[in-house]
Amino acid sequence: MAPSHSPDPVSASASEDSDSEASSSISVSDTEQENHTRAPKRRRLSETPDDDEDEEEEEDKSYTAPAPIATVSRIKKKDTSSAQPAQKSDTNPELIRDALEIGLQEEESSFKALNVAPWLIGSLTTMAVRKPTAIQRACIPEILKGRDCIGGSRTGSGKTIAFAVPILQMWAQDPFGIFAVVLTPTSRELALQIYEQIKAISAPQSMKPVLITGGTDMRAQAIALSQRPHVVIATPGRLADHINTSGEDTVRGLKRVRMVVMDEADRLLAPEAGMLPDVGTCLSALPPSSERQTLLFTATVTPEVRALKSSPRSNSKPPLFMTEISTESKDSIPPTLKQSYLKVPMTHREAFLHVLLSTDANAQKPAIIFCNRTQTADHLERMLRRLAHRVTSLHSRLPQSERNANLARFRASAARVLVATDVASRGLDIPSVSLVINYDVPRNPDDYVHRVGRTARAGRSGEAVTLVGQRDVQLVLAIEERAGRQMEEWSEEGVSVEARVVRTGVLKEVGAAKREAAAEIDEGRDVLGRKRNKLKKVR
């Protein structure tokens, strides 16, 4: 993609209907004829059809008054012996106007107002997605117009739907071959999540998506690619492998792709991430940027991403559209997220973690525990399992099939605790997560932002607790500067973690669990105690 024009500012103007009230005058003629008088005409109080019908009926009726005195009233007299007080109309014009305005606002904030196809609206509704988020309102109409797009928005804001909906709508109008390619960073779980979302949204149609990631059989993937799926969701490394080794028949369909998406574009384009060569290989097999539509989405708009805004582009293409909506910067920590730290001695970190997970407030919360190393994650899962926690893990040393199964268990609440490395810190959307624990303080403050972004998503509340040892103080200070907010010391009413660790025999219990976990690893057993070969790192 080579964008060149500055994005046109997008302004939305909402027009409101103004309500006008019609006033009517009433004239009453008092003519007394043999103790009979004509009924006073009721004053019109509202514009409702019921009032109009009553008024027409009353004009054609007469009644006998018990007294020869004509009384003008806003209502019919039930008893002419005493004057009735005036009654107010049940219909308030201001309430009507407010209701109309609310209705107009809801209409303008709906997917229908974004020109989304009815079948897609119905599909989103079945997924409990009824109102578009800010990034979806900004990007979907522009993508449907054929514009290249750079969309920046914080984690959990609905970026996947922002590009999936227009892709599916445009594909449904002209379904053929490989219509779109979605590139994600090396996190296979993020690619799987996008694949599942696209599959769910496209359920009413005969859409064929395919997932191309590492850790699975190359031959099966090559066959799937050769069968011309409609959408390819891939990590750059594995798709580049197919382009280089699987033969022309396998990748020929890529030359007709109409849309390319780079999700988490900041990582894909970062030189230090090491993915640029593979990204270049993937793009070389696709049509040139002048002949395809390119969409970039990210939670952090980096200089590499922003530079694409001013890159040269074809005059035949509409101008690039770029929007940044609450991207991850110093104000990127959601206001609904409670951040705290817990001081722990380095030698008893596991015991403090066990007590923290077992307090009354946390005992039922779905939680993710982040570690810096795969060995730590593997050890913690085994130890916590022996301490009666429902736990599973997610890290790069696990085979892909096991990673998928473990993530599915956690999503289904079969496991309450997920022990993970930073492979789970980006993009994964698990709405039930309400607690994130940093067992190890992340070395990069940006990693902290992504970790805690797994909770307090889409306006929900959440909590992030960081275990801090003596050597971690400088890292915590850097995180606080990056986040723009200070952490509070963790507390729960009536709970002293240190006292529970020291006085309740927790140290002995945790010590035994640690020894059993270490012995299991040394014997080459899996987390269920079964013999197997030593875990090998899978690409």
pLDDT band at 156 (very low <50, low <70, confident <90, very high): confident
Say if residue 347 is in the same domain as residue 318: no
- pLDDT value, residue 157: 85
Write out the two tokens for 478: 């850097």
- 22 within some domain: no
- 212 within some domain: yes
Which 3 state secondary structure label does DSSP give 97?
helix
Separation of alpha carbons 379 and 169, rounded Å: 46
Longest dimension (CA), the chain: 116
Say if residue 376 is in the same domain as residue 311: no
- pLDDT value, residue 108: 55
Say if residue 59 is in the same domain as residue 192: no
Least confident of 94-108, 166-180, 225-239, 360-374: 94-108
Separation of alpha carbons 438 and 353, rounded Å: 10
Say if residue 341 is in the same domain as residue 320: no
Domain closes at, from 272, 299, 325: 325
Cα-flanking dihedrals φ and ψ of residue 527, to 5°?
-65, -15
DSSP-derived pairing of the beta strands 417-420 and 337-343: unpaired
* More confident position, 188 or 150: 150
Q: Which of 227, 226, 229 shows the shortest CA–CA distance to 211?
A: 229
Amino acid symbol at 505: G
- 31 within some domain: no
pLDDT above 90 for 9: no
- 86 within some domain: no
DSSP string computed for 245-312: HS-HHHHGGGGG--EEEEETHHHHH-GGGT-HHHHHHHHHTSPPGGGSEEEEEESS--HHHHHGGGS-
- pLDDT value, residue 417: 98
Q: Which of 167, 177, 226, 229 shows the shortest CA–CA distance to 202?
A: 167
Summarize pLDDT for 502-524 with one digit per residue, the tens: 888 899 999 999 999 999 998 87
Residue 132 CB neighbour total at 10 angstroms? 22
- Output the domain CATH number for residue 495: 3.40.50.300
Say if residue 268 is in the same domain as residue 138: yes
Say if residue 394 is in the same domain as residue 503: yes
> For all residues of the chain together, what is the average pLDDT?
82
- 50 within some domain: yes
Q: What's CA 99's distance to the chain center, in Å?
A: 29
- Segment 168-180 shows an average pLDDT of 93
Q: What is the pTM of this model?
A: 0.69
Separation of alpha carbons 265 and 185, rounded Å: 8
- The number of domains in the chain is 3
- Segment 336-347 shows an average pLDDT of 94
Amino acid symbol at 200: A
- pLDDT value, residue 7: 43
Summarize pLDDT for 23-70 with one digit per residue, the tens: 333 333 444 444 444 444 444 434 444 444 444 444 444 444 444 434
Identify any residues that bridge with 323 across adjacent strands, giving them in sequence order.
151
Q: What is the span of the domain harbouring residue 445?
A: 337-522
Which 3 state secondary structure label does DSSP give 373?
coil
Write out the two tokens for 381: 């899962």
* More confident position, 305 or 14: 305
- pLDDT value, residue 407: 92
Separation of alpha carbons 241 and 183, rounded Å: 14
Say if residue 301 is in the same domain as residue 402: no
Separation of alpha carbons 395 and 536, rounded Å: 12
Q: Which of 294, 329, 328 shows the shortest CA–CA distance to 311?
A: 294
Q: Provide, rounded to the nearest whole percent, the portion of the chain with pLDDT above 70.
A: 76
Task: Give Cβ neighbours of residue 295 (< 8 Å, ≥ 6 apart).
Answer: 139, 143, 148, 149, 151, 163, 259, 260, 261, 262
Least confident of 35-49, 177-191, 401-415, 459-473: 35-49
Q: Provide, rounded to the nearest whole percent, the portion of the chain with pLDDT above 90.
A: 57
Least confident of 27-31, 193-197, 292-296: 27-31
User: Distance between terminal CA atoms of the chain?
Assistant: 28
- 166 within some domain: yes
Summarize pLDDT for 433-445 with one digit per residue, the tens: 999 999 999 999 9
DSSP-derived pairing of the beta strands 462-468 and 337-343: parallel
- 3 within some domain: no
266 neighbors 214 (Cβ within 8 angstroms): no
For tokens 């980096």, name the residue: 302
Domain closes at, from 27, 57, 80: 80
Write out the two tokens for 100: 């109309």
pLDDT above 90 for 385: yes
Residues shown for the chain: 539
pLDDT band at 238 (very low <50, low <70, confident <90, very high): very high
Residue 216 CB neighbour total at 10 angstroms? 16
Say if residue 433 is in the same domain as residue 486: yes
- pLDDT value, residue 91: 52
243 neighbors 232 (Cβ within 8 angstroms): no
Say if residue 155 is in the same domain as residue 303: yes
Summarize pLDDT for 77-135 with one digit per residue, the tens: 444 444 444 444 455 566 555 555 544 445 556 999 999 999 999 999 999 999 999 99
- Segment 227-235 shows an average pLDDT of 95
Domain closes at, from 325, 345, 373: 325
Q: What's CA 232's distance to the chain center, in Å?
A: 21
Say if residue 348 is in the same domain as residue 319: no
Q: Which of 321, 236, 316, 319 shows the shortest CA–CA distance to 284?
A: 236
pLDDT band at 75 (very low <50, low <70, confident <90, very high): very low
Say if residue 170 is in the same domain as residue 305: yes
Write out the two tokens for 529: 């105690």
- 273 within some domain: yes
Least confident of 347-356, 382-391, 453-462, 513-522: 453-462
* More confident position, 336 or 28: 336
309 neighbors 274 (Cβ within 8 angstroms): no
Task: Give Cβ neighbours of residue 267 (< 8 Å, ≥ 6 apart).
Answer: 185, 273, 275, 426
Summarize pLDDT for 395-431 with one digit per residue, the tens: 989 998 899 999 999 999 999 999 999 988 877 888 8
Say if residue 48 is in the same domain as residue 124: no
